[in-house]
Structure formats: C-alpha cells, structure tokens
C-alpha cells in the first residue's frame, strides 16, 4: 500500500507475487490478469485455458507457463488486447539464420 510517495498517488494498493531470487513473477501476473479478464478459467484450485487445464494451484500453473513460453505469450497478448495495450511482437526465432558465404 502506497501511503506517501513523490512519484505515485497515495493510498493505492497493488498485489503481486515476489519470488526469492527471481523478483516479481511474470507468469503469476499473466495468470492473475488472465483470470480477471476471463481469458484463463479458474475452477476451485484448477486453472484452464481454452478448456485445457494448465495446473492445479497457482504455483503449478506458473511452472507450466514457464515451461511453455509460447502459451504464456499467447495468453499475455490476449490480456494486453483486453486492457487496450498493443500485442507483443512475434518472438525471435531461437535458431540463428545460416550464414551467407
């Protein structure tokens, strides 16, 4: 909770996951915002995306998105569109192009 600060309005609250040795969890935010904007479904402890379960509990869902970055990027782009931000550019290819001789 921001009580007094020179750079932000007072009395605003924010909730996010901070992981030891990593910082703020990007995947955790994707899950939270996906649920908030009805992109990710939450039923009990289970999280699902387009009918496919991605994990039981937030920690397992976070690990699933970390192991599947293409799916995390897809969900993040849908969240960005839902809040009025532009989509992320396509991910760069992981294999370098062959060098010209």
Q: pLDDT tens, position by position, for the chain (101 residues)?
A: 555 667 777 777 777 777 788 888 899 999 999 999 999 999 999 999 999 999 999 999 999 999 999 999 999 999 999 999 888 887 765 555 566 65
* Own/partner long-range contacts of 66-74 (Cβ < 8 Å, ≥24 apart): 66/27, 72/26, 72/27, 72/30
For residue 3, what pLDDT is reported? 58
Q: Which domains are present in the chain?
A: 25-82 (3.30.250.10)
For the whole model, what pTM was predicted?
A: 0.74
Give yes or no for a contact between 53 and 46, defined as CB atoms under 8 angstroms apart: yes
């Amino acid at each position: 909770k921001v009580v007094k600060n020179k750079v932000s309005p007072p009395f605003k609250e924010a909730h996010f996951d901070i992981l030891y040795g990593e910082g703020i969890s990007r995947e955790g935010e994707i899950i939270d915002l996906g649920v908030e904007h009805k992109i990710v479904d939450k039923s009990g402890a289970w999280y699902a995306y387009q009918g496919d379960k991605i994990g039981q509990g937030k920690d397992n869902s976070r690990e699933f998105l970390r192991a599947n970055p293409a799916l995390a990027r897809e969900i993040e782009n849908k969240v960005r569109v839902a809040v009025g931000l532009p989509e992320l550019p396509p991910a760069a290819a992981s294999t370098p192009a062959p060098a010209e001789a």
